[in-house]
Amino acid sequence: MTENNKSCWTCGFQQIGGPTFLGICTYFSTIGKPNKDIPPGTVDVGCKYWKARPAKAESPVEDPG
């Protein structure tokens, strides 16, 4: 994956779960509508509602010695 990848896999609105492995899009709940299943033809290319996922906090590495 590249930094410019705006697929559903890198989108902050994607939530894994629902009836398929592809997950659901939670964008619609932000505008008062029900969430939608992500279609197979969209998951790898994304859509106009894409937003970056929040950065993950790095876990501290413990010194084994």
pLDDT of residue 20: 80
pLDDT of residue 57: 72
Over residues 11-20, the pLDDT tens digits come to 999 999 877 8
* Domain boundaries defined on the chain: 1-53
pLDDT of residue 41: 94
Q: Do 52 and 61 meet the contact criterion of CB atoms below 8 Å apart?
A: no
In angstroms, the first-to-last Cα distance of the chain is 36
CA distance 58 to 54: 12
pTM of this structure:
0.74
Q: Do 11 and 50 meet the contact criterion of CB atoms below 8 Å apart?
A: yes
Name the strand (E) or helix (H) holding 42. Answer: helix 40-43
* Phi, psi angles (nearest 5°) of residue 28: -65, -30
Over residues 22-38, the pLDDT tens digits come to 999 999 999 999 999 99
